[in-house]
Amino acid sequence: MQAAIDAAPCPTTAESPSDDPTGDKRGVALGRGSDPLPVEVGDRLDLWSVDDTTARGHLVVPGAQVLDHDDRAVTVAIHTDLADEVAAVLDKGDLLTALVH
């Protein structure tokens, strides 16, 4: 995806108490689908997986920061320790995004 290839370096931001103490983050590009959530760089998104059988959600990544976006993808920063779970969810389907206010 273009956003994953041409994403600008992660901006330097002050870490909040909820951030990983090591500061290890990775950029992950997520497809936006046909009805994308309007986002801006710097917004925070909760990323949810949804079980199709039970229709229950599971919060995978709280407060992922938007690094870049276009009409096809949004690139977010996630903590390195969550990368395996994000990859596993994306292998099965999509992540639902919820704008954090």
- Of residues 101, 100, 97, 46, the one with CA closest to residue 73: 97
Max Cα–Cα distance, the chain, nearest Å: 41
The domain limits of the chain are 26-99
User: What is residue 69's predicted lDDT score, i.e. its pLDDT?
Assistant: 95
pLDDT digit string, tens, across residues 15-34: 444 544 446 999 999 998 88
- Short-list 44, 30, 49, CA closest to 96: 49
- Whether 47 shows a pLDDT value over 60: the answer reads yes
Read off φ and ψ for residue 20, nearest 5 degrees.
Answer: -60, 130
Model pTM above 0.85: no
The C-alpha atoms of residue 75 and residue 34 are separated, in whole angstroms, by 17
12: its two tokens = 């330097």
pLDDT the model gives residue 68: 96
